Amino acid sequence: MKILVLNSGSSSIKFKLYKDDKAIAVGLVERIGEASSKVELKNIDTDEKFSKEQSIKNHEEGLSLVNELFKQSGLLEDLNTLDGCGHRAVQGGAKIMKHCLVTQEVIDEMDKATVIAPLHNPANLAGIRTMIKKAPNVPNVAVFDTAFHATVPDYAYMYALPYEYYEKENIRRYGYHGTSHSYVSRKAAEFLGIGYDNFNVITAHLGNGASISAIKNGKCIDTSMGLTPLEGLMMGTRCGDLDPAIVPYIQKVRGLSPNEVDTLMNKKSGFLGICGYNDLRDVDSQRKKGDDKARLAVQMYAYRLAKYIGSYFAILPKTDALVFTAGVGENASFIRKETCDFIKHLGFDIDDNLNNERSSKIREIGSKNAKLKILVVPTDEEFEIANTTKNLIYKK
């Protein structure tokens, strides 16, 4: 069984090909719409690389070149021979908060939800529409970022705005990164030998974007991202939570338009806004050189994360584990340490030696005194998408 996983962005397509449960090829189409675009494909077993550089006008041309490179690599005869294609899908709106086989209704709902996810949905849809055109007999599955959060109760997903804004505009917490929260929580339960239906865990997905979820008996009960992926934790370039009155205030005092404030909060804030660097590796090297703004940025990040962990610890009847994942969560031991130090008295006690060991494997980093398990679990969103795609196609 061959499943292709596509993560289509506005100017890129990340892809991975699975044969049964094993990833056999990985690649990237980049700079779509620019003069010097590029497609690259790597055979995972042999490390052999295939690439092509030429202008790629749109997603359709991009996937045609992916098809050519697949042929050249001998890994896939044609996109039409796939058993299925799984698409990372960010927003299906209030109506579609579950993974599903792509139908016209799914496409229409994603189209409508573009107002909530203007950067992601048009790109996700371009990938879906291109696959339908190029490989009409291959089933497509939309794997929604929001689906894992569909179990969050209404008192947790509602904002305290007039109720009609929920009814008419669908303004509510949706949550994002669901594929990752789902994958790492299941892996952690497996690793600890706890049945998933009895597992209570806090999962912190800390990448360029960052979100945290509280999972009770294997079901998500709260998550930090909201209507959009801006709410919650401090991130590389996003501000996360702030006093909502700051928005009209900035508009007034700086004379900014709503779009300009949106850009400010999404692209110029977070680590970048505080210290001038968005990649935590750069922030850390500045911090080590004595840059006080870099020190401040790291402490703000850890403190805000600790507050979320503390609040999710409070709403879970018993927390079995805390999981760190994604680029920052898997690699930045100092973030894990500084975060847990803020809440050590609650039992989040890290073992420094275990925490500082570098590894790409799932591992425990809590000390013997820790009242719960503290784990690092490498995420694998593509695998989760491939697996979900396979399951939905088989169910059909």
Give the strand order in the sheet containing 140-144: 49-54, 37-43, 22-30, 13-19, 2-8, 84-89, 140-144, 100-101
310 vs 378 by CB, closer to ligand ADP? 378
CB of 360 to ligand ADP, least distance (A): 11
349 vs 382 by CB, closer to ligand ADP? 382
61 vs 381 by CB, closer to ligand ADP? 381
Catalytically active residues are 145
Here the tokens at position 254 are 């700086």
122 vs 327 by CB, closer to ligand ADP? 327
2 vs 304 by CB, closer to ligand ADP? 304
Phi and psi at residue 37, in whole multiples of 5°? -85, 170
CB of 93 to ligand ADP, least distance (A): 23
CB of 112 to ligand ADP, least distance (A): 26
CB of 301 to ligand ADP, least distance (A): 10
List residues near ligand ADP by CB under 6 A.
207-209, 236, 279-281, 326-328, 331-332
**If you search the block for the tokens 């501000």, which residue do you land on?**
239
76 vs 332 by CB, closer to ligand ADP? 332
CB of 177 to ligand ADP, least distance (A): 8
Q: Would strands 22-30 and 37-43 be described as parallel, antiparallel, or unpaired?
A: antiparallel
CA distance 379 to 76: 26
CB of 113 to ligand ADP, least distance (A): 21
Query: Taking the C-alpha atoms of 118, 124, 129 and 134 in order, what is their torsion angle to the nearest 10 degrees?
Result: 150
Of the candidates 69, 81, 84, which has an alpha carbon nearest to the alpha carbon of residue 6? 84
227 vs 326 by CB, closer to ligand ADP? 326
